[in-house]
Amino acid sequence: MISPILKKLTGDPSLKTGSGRSFDLVTIDTEKQTELAREYHIMSLPTVIAFKDGKPASQFIGALDETGIKRFLQRL
């Protein structure tokens, strides 16, 4: 449900993080990548984790509308 919104927003070259960086979007199938899901304590879907310099920086769990996701991304 939120995947199309995430793809749209992270693919928008005019949308940047608060520090001016662009976004890369990576999705995982938690049923196939169980170790990775366990490593990041993913218990509910959707879970969105933002990484900065290879480390988790922020996250949200549950569906947000486009405005909510855009705010989340801009706070990074």
Question: What is the phi/psi pair of residue 3, to 5°?
Answer: -55, -45
Beta strands at 47-52 and 55-61: parallel, antiparallel or unpaired: antiparallel
The reported pLDDT for the residue numbered 35 is 97
pTM for the whole structure:
0.89
Nearest to 24 by CA among 9, 14, 40, 10: 10
Q: Give the chain's domains with CATH numbers.
A: 3-74 (3.40.30.10)
50: β partners? 58
The reported pLDDT for the residue numbered 45 is 96
What count of residues does the chain have? 76
Q: How many C-beta atoms lie closer than 10 Å to residue 75's C-beta?
A: 11
The reported pLDDT for the residue numbered 4 is 95
The reported pLDDT for the residue numbered 19 is 80
